[in-house]
A = this chain, B = another copy of it.
Amino acid sequence: MSVEDNLLKLVEVETPDDQDYLLQEQVGFILRKAHQRHVSIFAAHIGDLTPPQFAALAKLRDVGETSQNQLGTLIAMDAATVKGVIDRLKARGLVELSKHEVDKRRLLVNLTAEGRDAIERLIPLAREITQETLAPLSAKEIATFMKLLAKLA
């Protein structure tokens, strides 16, 4: 390495300004890649359902019948997005819709028998997905990571 290079490096170390911005070190960029990797692992284990569709079924299993909007809140989806997800689950016979008797604005969503079977069958696979996603980390690292990630979400 030349004297000039060393001088240049010294200047860079001492004045880390805009020259320095490295996309691949930004949280947002890495977060996007980590999410991509998870979705890819998910697809490899559960091919016929997307993560959002799975989330909807899993949450319905937890809470039972709810309104479409309420379900959206529970799985962090806005109204427009949740509608599409529920439409597709309904088209496949995994959920059924009904009108709320009292509040006529609300559209109630519930699992069908088939939907309940599906989610029960898929949950063991979902556990594997979680495991594989976290596989690069040790048990202790997983605990630390989940704690910090939860703070960011």
Point out residues on A near B: beta carbons under 8 Å.
18, 21-23, 25-39, 42, 51, 55, 58-59, 62, 75-76, 120, 123-124, 126-127, 129-130, 133-134, 136-137, 141, 144-146, 148-153
Contact = CB atoms under 8 A, between A and B. Distances in A.
A152 B144 CA distance: 13
Given A18-B124, A136-B151, 13 more contacts: A23-B58, A23-B62, A25-B146, A26-B126, A27-B149, A29-B55, A31-B31, A32-B51, A32-B76, A134-B152, A137-B151, A137-B152, A145-B148
Q: How many copies does the complex hold?
A: 2
Nearest to A51: B28
Q: Is the interface of A mostly helix, strand, loop or mixed?
A: helix
Given A31-B35, A34-B153, A152-B37, A18 B76 contact: no
A23 B134 contact: no
